[in-house]
Amino acid sequence: MNHEIRLYGAGFARSARCRWTLQELGMDFEEISAAKMIGGDELREFHPQSKVPAIVIDGERLFESSAICTYLCDISPDQRLIAASGTRERALHDQWVSFGLSEMEGYLWSNAKHTGFYPEEKRVTAVVERNTEEFRKGAAVLDNALSETPFLVGGNFSVTDIILGWTVNWARRMGHLGDFPNLQSYLDRLFAREHCALNPE
Ligand SMILES: N[C@@H](CCC(=O)N[C@@H](CS)C(=O)NCC(=O)O)C(=O)O
């Protein structure tokens, strides 16, 4: 079934997860380059915090990159980029997405705020140190999981890897992968994919 899809995105931002998912699924879509719209009222119509990504699918709005990617896969079951709801594999998808966003990405995001996004007077160095410790605990769990399998669910590439791969690549770009060789080789496998949308720098 064809869908009318409009993605509000910005380069390598989290919207890259959605672009990559759409391309893996072979879905047609229009991407609005929304970097300059962030924080403004026009984008707020599609995202309550006026952030990217936001998407409009057949006239219905959705935000949060992991929810968007998961939904796109659910409406394209023939592409087998996600397991069906109620299966063990789907539970593992939910597990790793929750884990990656709460135990890893949240700390990276807070670090980005305390090292750059916030004005100097709001930045707290001690928060960055604690965040980094907590991030490393999460990264160690993922690194250990990837010592036994090339991809996170069922040994095959899936949308779970698109979502977690973005987080791991952000960690690499912030210099946090030194002690986690399995995360680095995981990224190598992701970068080798034709539609990989991760920032290579
Ligand atoms: N949890 C959200 C995060 C969205 C988000 O923070 N997007 C960033 C770009 S990667 C953004 O628009 N930031 C602008 C801001 O925070 O003002 C998701 O995964 O979609």
Count the Cβ atoms, other than its own, within 10 Å of residue 64: 16
Distance between CA 4 and CA 28 in Å, rounded? Answer: 8
Q: What is the pLDDT of residue 1?
A: 77
7 CB within 6 A, ligand 1 = no
For residue 135, pLDDT beyond 80: yes
Ligand 1 centroid, distance to 38 Cα (angstroms): 9
Report the chain's C-alpha Rg in angstroms: 17
Q: What is the pLDDT of residue 136?
A: 98
Shortest CA distance to 18 belongs to which of 9, 57, 158? Answer: 9
Domain 5-79 matches domain 88-191 at the CATH topology level: no
DSSP-derived 3-state class of residue 6: strand
Q: What is the per-residue DSSP string for 65-105?
A: HHHHHHHHHHT-GGG-SSPPTTSHHHHHHHHHHHHIIIIII
| CATH number at 88-191 | 1.20.1050.10
What's the rounded mean pLDDT across residues 56-64?
Answer: 98
DSSP-derived 3-state class of residue 147: coil
- The domain spans of the chain are 5-79, 88-191
CATH number of 5-79, picked from 3.40.50.300, 3.20.20.70, 3.40.30.10, 3.60.20.10: 3.40.30.10
Whose Cα sits closest to atom 9 in ligand 1? Answer: 13
Confidence band of 101 (pLDDT split at 50, 70, 90): very high
What's the rounded mean pLDDT across residues 54-83?
Answer: 98
Exposure letters 4-25 (e unless 16+ CB within 10 A, then b):
ebebbbbebbbbbbbbbbbebb
Average pLDDT, the chain: 98
The CA distances from residue 89 to 34, 71, 84, 93, in Å, are 34, 16, 8, 6
Are 104 and 142 a contacting pair, CB within 8 Å? yes
Confidence band of 10 (pLDDT split at 50, 70, 90): very high
27 CB within 6 A, ligand 1 = no
Whose Cα sits closest to atom 15 in ligand 1? Answer: 51
Distance between CA 139 and CA 129 in Å, rounded? Answer: 15
Are 37 and 8 a contacting pair, CB within 8 Å? yes
Confidence band of 76 (pLDDT split at 50, 70, 90): very high
Are 129 and 52 a contacting pair, CB within 8 Å? no
E-strand ranges in 10-74 read 30-33, 54-57, 60-63
